[in-house]
Amino acid sequence: MAKKKKAKKKALKKRRQESLNGVSEHVLDRLYVVINSRKGADPDTSYTARLFSRGRQQIAKKLGEEAVEALIEGIRGDRPKLVGESADMLYHLLTLWAALNVKPAAVWAELARREGLSGIAEKASRKR
């Protein structure tokens, strides 16, 4: 039991250090790297490459479709289906970011900037 606690503590310390060094272990960051690597790949062998070859509008359209499907499952209350549709939606969002060269770190920084602000105050600040 003590070994498990020690291993968990060591893993947590490593993640904190990687975070301080700018190295992220988050699945979305890793997925973004994979998606970005598919730019220019063969559209016949990669769905992501096919999306890139069809252009930003098609990627945005797919993101919208997945968002609607997630919304539907959220209204229905089907948690397992909502999980799947949410994953699809996040994948297509990251693909759109990659198409526009938006780095996840920029989005994470914006979320961090908003952390602790009320949604009402944050939205009002955008109108100025």
The burial class, CB within 10 Å (0-12 / 13-18 / 19+), for 16 is exposed
What is the mean pLDDT of each successive set of 10 residues along the chain, which is 128 residues long? 63 55 77 97 97 98 98 98 98 98 96 87 72
Look at the block and give the residue holding tokens 């220019």.
40
- The CATH class for the domain spanning 26-101 reads mainly alpha
Write down the pLDDT at residue 128. Answer: 63
**pLDDT digit string (tens) for 52-81?**
999 999 999 999 999 999 999 999 999 999
Measured distance CA(65)–CA(42) in Å, rounded: 24
Write down the pLDDT at residue 61. Answer: 98
pTM score of the predicted model: 0.76
Measured distance CA(55)–CA(37) in Å, rounded: 16
Tokens of 6: 């020690």
